[in-house]
Amino acid sequence: MQPQLYIGAEKLDLFPDESINYNQSVQSLKDLTKVFTDFTKSFKIPANDTNNAIFKHYYQNQIDNGFDARIKTNARIDINGVTFKKGKLQLNSVGLKSNVPEFYDVEFFGDTIDIKDKIGDDTLRDLDGLSTLDFTYNAANVKSRLETDGDLAFGLASYKRRFLSGSTNLSTETAVNINYNSSFTDGIDWKELKPFIKCSSILSAIESQPGYGLQFSRDFFGRAEFDRLYMSISSGTSNEDAPFREKLVQTLPISLYPIVFVSLFGNRTAVSARVKMYFRIVPVEQNIPYRLVWSINGEVKRVSETLTGEYAYLFRSDLLDLDDYDLQYSVQAEGDLNFEVNCEQTVTYFSSDGLFANQPIVQTTVFDSIAAPDFNVQSQISNMKVLDWFSAMLKAFNLVIVPQPDGVLYVNDLNSWYRDGAILDVSEYVDIEELKVSRGELFNEIVLGYEDTEQILAKQYQSQFGKQFGAEDITIENISLDKKLEVKLPFENPQFERINDTYVQYAYVVDTEQEPYENKPFLTYLQKSFLGSGDLRLGFNTESTYQPLTSVNVLSHSLLLLAGFSCQFGAEFSEFNGRLMDDNLYSRFYSDYFNDLFNKKRRKYNLSAEFTPTILAKLEMNDRLIIKGERYVIDNIETNIITGKTSLVLLNDLFTTLEGSETSSRISQKKGTFFDKGSFYYTGNAKVAQAFTENSFITITSQPPLVSFDLDVNKTGEDRVGVIQIQDGLSDPSFIILQLSENVLLFDSNIITFDNNKITF
């Protein structure tokens, strides 16, 4: 074995007898997000002229623009000229003897270590790409996004009032009848709704973020389970009112100084002052809510209540020291607003004994306008760390990440990734004379769940059943170890509520006192529900109108409101129709993994092998190895890339989803010579499977997964049977081809002559 180590295009020299052990691990059972933690143990390379030049004599700290050991450097390991691994090299230290450098101590890491390094401590609010989803915040735009399921949409979630439906008008601080009735005056207030963002849009923003350089495959992220998933934006205590856009109207500089004024008790010198500002605002648009904001030196001192129409307002400061100040006032408005402001400013000076004198009034009049506010996604989205959000997606769907040569990170769920692996018979390279067989990793409890929630329905559920709504808590009896595996997503999981006799389901996100609380983000699917007409319509309030909705985005844990995959861990009964949601995160992405983990037939094998450079270069962690007729999956590989000696940790292959076709099947029974071609779809391990036949009348024209074939015309006058064999290293299924015969008339030439016009058979 002749390994080569490169930093960029520069080749480093190696010690001929130094061990370089490269470790590859599929998955850490204690943290399911730690996938493919490829690394070498630290090893030494000589501090010769070549390496000193590459590391720029790192041992000399006075060198300007020297090698930066604080960061990992792009690197590559080749074996016999064949690329083995790409990743990062980290310089740990330099060994010197008698002040002369002897060696550099380095480590090599696989590519996926980059994700954490590149994202760092950024939060979702740092993702610049989210700004493309900003929109002008008004009733029309909220209504449009309530009726369509785009990248940023509104769904039926109430953070203050309970939504009810009936024939009686009801509108209080805590409940509202949202059923549309022309005689009603209240319904869903556009300002009380909060938006939802597609998780795929967050992923795209991560990919487009400057400096990250990350690109993820859509093997899993393109699937409906993720692509149609939304995350809530804003909480019950944030942005309770509609967002106001603020416009600085005027800045009035003022200098307060120790004037001398005359009083009944003689001359007095001012030591402090108070400023009064009297405003009269006359808006053109009488129905647009607005507020007046008064600041001194940029610090907000007074804010008016929310106003509409013409209004007069008086602001008065506390006592001020004698100094220079900037007096500012702003207008905040919910929508487009044109207005006139008349301002009267008065200063009152005070002496040390409390006597005072008023200065003359200063009057100003300003005409101004303000545009409708934008809904800014970055300021409203959770301040969750990007890495925590991304790790949550890995945890929820049990995903693996594998770097590809083109720089794209392949992402898929664990079972799909294993199905994509090859099957390799490595019996001749493995030493089975000495091996260790053990039971493998075990836990006596598995908890898959969420952050705690204060939501009223989920809280009541937990009190009644002793578990989180949507969580999965599995206790394994008679396990000798007291070890717990916990996967917790940084989201809460509220329970939804269906409004009686309607197709409407919504989230009532308040606490047990029916008060708003600082809720965490939650995941949901948005289902567009067509409400029809009559009693099924919902009432919707804009700034000035009460109108019906005929379609709306309703919330659902399931991909489909009536059925389908549910994005929560545990099997719960649907809030909409009572159906058991047993196709969920656990059943689809975890059950096989844990069933095999706790299967009494599960064994872990420690053994050794000596692989060739070719096998080492092409071996992937999702490959299954056949050794003496038995099939294994890889848990850990540690290879000495100098000697080729490899320590293997293998698990016997019990994955139920990895089986090939179990039975042979008669795939066609068409009569006569017209049956001259056909095809079938092979559902096993298509990546390595090969189709072949020993029947001369069958010609295979395409290989798995879609196997197509041509048949010669059947001139035998008899039925005939052929076999297409699939060699996949699993069950090696056979597919039987039956070509039936009809009575066939054969002629020995192309000319047929009869002695009359009648032909009888």
For the domain that residue 669 is a member of, what is the CATH number?
2.60.40.10
Q: What is the mean pLDDT of residues 549-574?
A: 91
Residue-level pLDDT at 206: 96
Question: Where residue 687 falls among pLDDT bands split at 50, 70, 90?
Answer: low
pLDDT of 341 reads 94
d(CA 346, CA 528): 58
Give percent of the chain with pLDDT exceeding 70: 88
Does residue 52 lie in a domain region?
A: yes
What is the distance between the alpha carbons of residues 193 and 407, in angstroms, rounded to a whole number?
41
Question: In this predicted structure, what is the pLDDT of residue 667?
Answer: 37
Between 331 and 479, the higher pLDDT residue: 331
Has residue 412 been placed in a domain?
no
| 345 part of a folded domain | yes
Q: How far apart are CA 514 and CA 504, in angstroms?
A: 21
Q: Is residue 101 situated within a structural domain?
A: yes
Q: Which pLDDT value is given to residue 116? A: 79
pLDDT for res 534: 55
**Binning pLDDT at 50, 70 and 90, where does residue 175 land?**
very high
| 411-415, 706-710, 717-721, range with greatest mean pLDDT | 411-415
The pLDDT of residue 756 is 52
Q: Is the pLDDT of residue 224 over 50?
A: yes
Please report whether residue 701 resides in a domain: yes
Q: Predicted confidence band at 168 (pLDDT cuts at 50, 70, 90)?
A: confident
In eight-state DSSP terms, residue 494 is P
Alpha carbon distance 84, 76 (integer Å): 8
End of a domain among 339, 372, 405?
A: 372
In tens, the pLDDT along 355-369 reads 899 999 999 999 999
For residue 428, pLDDT over 60 is answered with yes
pLDDT digit string, tens, across residues 507-538: 999 999 999 999 999 999 998 888 766 556 88
Residue 294 lies in a domain: yes
CA distance 176 to 190: 13
Assess contact for 272 and 320: CB atoms under 8 A: yes
Tally of domains in the chain:
3
- 316-319: long-range pairs with CB below 8 Å, 24+: 316/274, 316/275, 316/276, 316/277, 317/274, 317/275, 317/276, 318/274, 319/272, 319/273, 319/274, 319/350
pLDDT in tens, 378-413: 888 999 999 999 999 999 999 988 878 788 888 999
> What are the E-state strand segments in 203-316?
229-232, 245-255, 260-263, 266-283, 290-296, 299-303, 311-316
The pLDDT score that the predictor gives to residue 535 is 55
pLDDT at position 663 is 30
Question: What's the pLDDT band for 239 if we cut at 50, 70, 90?
Answer: low
Phi, psi of 553 (to 5 degrees): -80, 110
Question: Does residue 80 belong to any structural domain of this protein?
Answer: yes
* pLDDT at 27 (0 to 100): 56
pLDDT higher for 657 or 425? Answer: 425
Under 8 Å CB-to-CB from 68, ≥6 apart: which residues? none
Inside any domain, residue 158: no
The answer to whether residues 569 and 488 touch, using CB atoms and an 8 Å cutoff, is no
Q: Which of 97, 119, 141 is the last residue of a domain?
A: 119
Q: Is 505 helix (H, G, I), strand (E, B) or coil?
A: strand
Decide which of 480 and 396 is more confident.
Answer: 396
User: When comparing pLDDT for 240 and 372, which is higher?
Assistant: 372
* Backbone φ/ψ region at 628: left (φ over 0), alpha (ψ -120 to 50), beta: left
Domain boundary among 356, 372, 388: 372
Q: Is the pLDDT of residue 28 over 60?
A: no
Pairing mode, strands 734-739 and 665-666: parallel
- Per-residue pLDDT reduced to its tens digit, 49-73: 999 999 999 988 888 888 988 888 9
Task: Examine the pLDDT at 14 and tell me if it is beyond 60.
Answer: yes
Tell whether the model's pLDDT for residue 609 goes beyond 50: yes
Mean pLDDT taken over the chain: 84
CA atoms within 13 A of residue 206's CA, in its CB half-sphere: 24
pTM: 0.71
What's the CA gap between 616 and 627, in Å, rounded?
A: 16
Once rounded to an integer, what is the mean pLDDT over residues 614-626? 84
Residue 202: how many other CB atoms lie within 10 Å: 22
546, 540 contact by CB (below 8 A): yes
Domain hosting 701: range is: 665-739
Look at 598 and 725; give whichever has higher pLDDT. 725
pLDDT band at 199 (very low <50, low <70, confident <90, very high): very high
pLDDT at residue 240 is higher than 80 = no
CA distance 616 to 426: 11
